[in-house]
Chains A and B, each alone.
Chain A
Amino acid sequence: MTEADFRALYEEHSAWVYSLSLRMTSDPQAAGEVVQDVFVRAWRKRALFRGGNIGAWLRRMTVNVLLNRARSERRWQQHHADGAAVAEIATRPHAATEDTMELERALKTLPAGARTVLILHDIEGYKMSDIARDTGTAVGTVKSQLYRARRLLRDALEQ
């Protein structure tokens, strides 16, 4: 991978890596750090890329970085009660509806694992088999986490 290839890779994929990270962390600064982690890691591990779908390779890396971050720092838990971070996403021009803010707030109350799966499947549109591969779990686990997340989310919204 040349410098130009790497720049092209960044141009093409950084927006969704940032979006996914922002949704997961609820923190623009943390999301920016995740993007840096992902692309620096991609550059260092470029020799390990065996061809095929580079987007899927990057997504696996992004999910790994996010899950590692969640495990070690418990950032999600810190932000559960952080209304400012929620507002940061929700007050963007395209997201400034009460409905969206309510949903973003409810998402923050979900446990990290269930939330990751719900975001990847229901919001980002990835298949369960891809999520299972990215998170290193079985498809059955992904399914039960997803359904639990929906149930919890629905309950949170109806409170």
Chain B
Amino acid sequence: MEHLDSEILNAHLDGLLSEAERERAAAHLSLCESCHGELRRYQRLTQRLRDLPHDFVPPADLWQRVQARRAAGRTWRYAARAAALIALLAGAFVALEMLPDIARAQKPVQQTFDVVEPATIKVFARQADVKVVGWTRRRVTVTGTLPKQQRLDISRQGAQVEIRSLGKGGKAGRLHLRIPRGYALQLETTSGDVRADSLHGSVAVSTGGGDVDIAKSVLEQTHVKTVSGAVTIAADLAENSDTRVDSRTGRVALYMTRNQAANYQITTFGGKVINELTPKGATDLPAPGRALVFSIGTGGTRVAVGTYSGDISLLPRKAP
């Protein structure tokens, strides 16, 4: 019996064989212990490689060094002096920057895993500030710091991934997630700020007192809920999508492109409404508790904003 060569085994592993080749390979693998063992060895190897740590933390003064190099392109004499000064200041800055972390007894967090099938990423972050950035890889990375009393727990069940900080106590941490663009995100914090960039999908964010800032994204179904945090959304809305923001006392600002068609329903009991999206300009609600309803363009995209006393601003932004 002729064995499968390593190229066929690797292509099989990477899912690159044609259907006929795959069937031939599978038939051989079911009979040949040797080739099957070889395939398993390659599988173990690629798994070990995937599990290697990612996202090493760059030195804190690297930005200053980049700036110094840029300046060097202009006048090297100036840059040489500036770099020395910047390095000195950076050293002092880094030392000062580190002090609070030391005092708060934070520990680094680092997790990476692949998500092959489209999934919902659920994040329960307690008081941590969370930044979520979408990227084109089918991989999730979580980096940052958490209080020593807490730990990160990641569980996966079917098409759902849960990322949860467990344990009580300690000051707020910082988490930075990268998730595949197009995957749904559900995020809860009690008081942490949430910043989301470059997402393309459904987003649900709930926070007590943290601010929520969503930018550079294309939003499908969106629900942002906060008690007192400020909400800022500067993103494109997908056709026929629903965007809903509920806030008790926090202000809400939506920055929309002029050509963003949507049906708006704005409600506040005691907050002010500034509407610069339509030619009429600033708009007061007819009476407390009543809704301001208007449409721009046609289509089924819906935007609903409701606050108790938070101000609501609807402002234009330039198309990216």
Contact = CB atoms under 8 A, between A and B. Distances in A.
Given A125-B114, A154-B41, A100 B62 contact: no
A15 B7 CA distance: 34
Contact of A147 (B10, B41, B108): B10
A40 B198 CA distance: 23
B78 interface: no
A89 B49 CA distance: 15
Contacts of A146: 10
A31 to B, nearest CB: 8
B5 to A, nearest CB: 10
Dominant secondary structure at the B interface:
mixed
B117 interface: no
A32 B57 CA distance: 11
Interface residues of A, number: 45
A81 interface: no
B46 A122 contact: yes
B70 A151 contact: no
Contacts, number: 101
Contact of A43 (B42, B45, B70): B70
Interface string A55-92: 11000000000000000000000000000000001001
Contact of A15 (B6, B48, B50, B55): B55
A124 B66 CA distance: 24
A36 B58 contact: no
B103 interface: no
Given A103-B48, A126-B137, A18 B56 contact: yes
Dominant secondary structure at the A interface:
helix
B197 A12 contact: yes
B197 A123 contact: no
A150 B46 contact: yes
B53 interface: yes
Nearest to B49: A122
Contacts of B6: 147, 150-151
B66 A39 contact: yes
A55 to B, nearest CB: 6
B70 A40 contact: yes
Interface string B140-183: 00010000000000000000000000000000000010000000
B287 interface: no
Given A122-B46, A151-B6, A55 B135 contact: yes
B294 to A, nearest CB: 32
B110 interface: yes
Contacts of B133: 12
Interface string A1-15: 000000100101011
B78 to A, nearest CB: 16
A131 to B, nearest CB: 13
A94 B10 contact: no
B232 to A, nearest CB: 15
B41 A40 contact: no
Nearest to B42: A150
A18 B10 contact: no
B139 A125 contact: yes
Given A14-B63, A146-B10, A123 B69 contact: no
> Which 9 pairs, one residue from A and one from B, show the smallest C-beta to C-beta distance?
A18-B58, A122-B49, A147-B10, A95-B53, A94-B110, A39-B66, A40-B69, A94-B53, A19-B56
Given A15-B57, A44-B73, A122-B50, 5 more contacts: A35-B62, A123-B50, A124-B137, A144-B7, A154-B41
